[in-house]
Amino acid sequence: MARFELKLPKMGESVAEATITNWLKEVGDKIEADEAVLEIATDKVDSEVPSEVSGILVEQLFGKDDLVQVGQTIAIIETEGGDAPTAAINNTEETAAPAEAAEIEKTIEAVKETVTTSQDFSSSDKFFSPLVKNIAKEEGISLSELENIAGSGKDGRVTKEDILKYVEGRKSGAVQAPKAVEAAPKVVETPKAEAPKAVEPVVQKSQQAVPVSVNGGDEIVEMDRMRKLISGYMVASVQTSAHVQSFIEVDVTNIVKWRDKVKAAFEKREGEKLTFTPIMMEAVAKALKDFPGMNISVDGDYIIKKKNINLGMAAALPNGNLIVPVIKNADQLNLVGMAKAVNDLGNRAKAGKLKPDDTQGGTYTVTNVGTFGSVFGTPIINQPQVGILALGAIRKVPAVIETPEGDFIGIRQKMFLSHSYDHRVVDGALGGSFVKRVAEYLEAFDVDRDF
């Protein structure tokens, strides 16, 4: 039987690792070529890992929530004999030769150990992958020893290399197992009644989570993985950047009229719907070329001036979560190219078909809060960028119109642009001038232009 090593595939130039979120196939399951074996997640995108071959899954080298590097082997698949391994499990003595039966029995035992090992070391507060637990069991490593191994993985996790290095050191005498006294059970003391403590300072209270009252009618739902990530990103951004906002109202009457006039012809010729988003993105890209100080990132005490203008566009997913796919080199696209890029990323975001590289490398972000009827908003900066622009809802409003014959009141299509920027490196002059330039491009839109 041939053993095929299923490795974590390369998912993009900037993606080096992924977390296993779910095994779709268990040990002993039959797998067809191109069939998904497990689900993985990078920082922002979830995807599946398909098998390149048909066969039987005989070993899972990592467990759920394990962090895996690109190129690492994550599973073993038996590729020859089709359903033979399964049949051999039930009919070893009747159908297999003695030598073959012994080999099959050995494989079965290895599979059983892989499956059952995940139940070992359950009393530990630390997380260990099934592979690490299996090695520990085979080498007779106790729980106390395993917990004392210094891990080089994420958050101090013990990796395969760490435990093998420990085993080698123990065999050579360079490492000694801890004495039994070190693994003494923890003593849980019954709390004693104490006098009321003094009230803690307010500054300490503010650092603690506010207790939440739950009654019988409330429903408790755990955040999904993406919501936890978004929560962490938002809090980290507010703690990192000194957020300040500038607002400006824009007359987009000419844009509304032009789009109404050409949208049918545009869709017929290009096969794409023409929304307001690519028109706004085009103006933002032009303004970033005029004000490169907004197209930067901050790294400690250093400012990184970005060569390319890569526009992130915040998109709402069907489950209510948020994702930010990126339009690369947005300043090099005409309106048709921008519309195609916006529609492609938006459609793939809704369908869950984005690739990890689709969300990487953004230098500035635009979010359309007007989609949900909001007039304006104060968006949080998408780190490590230094600015984000919120597009408000387009509304018909009465406005003063200046003409050579005098001023009069008319109905105009207007919207608000809300610009949040990082006051550590962007002052009001730059932040305000940038959003004003975007407004100028939009108000000067040529109604006679071709698309």
Which contiguous run of DSSP H or E holds residue 436? helix 428-443
**What is the distance between the alpha carbons of residues 73 and 226, in angstroms, rounded to a whole number?**
25
Tokens of 342: 């916006």
Choose, from 299, 357, 423, 446, the residue flagged as catalytic. Answer: 423
Q: Per residue in 68-99, is it b (16+ CB within 10 Å) or e — as a string?
A: beeebbbbbbbbeeeeebeebeeeeeeebeee
**What is the distance between the alpha carbons of residues 338 and 344, in angstroms, rounded to a whole number?**
10
- The distance of Cα 164 from the centroid of its chain, to the nearest Å, equals 32
Quick check: is 243 catalytic?
Answer: no
Tokens of 247: 């607002």
**CA contacts within 13 A on the Cβ side of 231:** 7
Q: Is 32 exposed, middle or buried (0-12, 13-18, 19+ CB in 10 A)?
A: exposed
Residue pointed to by tokens 């012994």:
102
Beta bridge partners of 323: 315
Angle CA 72–74–76, to nearest 5: 120
CA 96, 99, 105, 108 dihedral sign is: negative
Task: Say how many C-beta atoms besides its own lie within 10 A of residue 423's C-beta.
Answer: 14
**Could you give the C-alpha distances from 177 to 125, 145, 151, 182, 354, in angstroms and in order?**
20, 6, 16, 10, 48
Quick check: is 446 catalytic?
Answer: no
Listed residue (16, 57, 18) closest to 35, CA to CA: 57
Q: Is 444 exposed, middle or buried (0-12, 13-18, 19+ CB in 10 A)?
A: exposed
- For strands 326-327 and 406-422, give the pairing: unpaired
Choose, from 34, 83, 224, 427, the residue flagged as catalytic. Answer: 427
Q: Is the peptide bond before 384 cis (omega within 30 degrees of 0)?
A: yes
**What is the distance between the alpha carbons of residues 349 and 355, in angstroms, rounded to a whole number?**
9
What residues are labeled active site? 423, 427
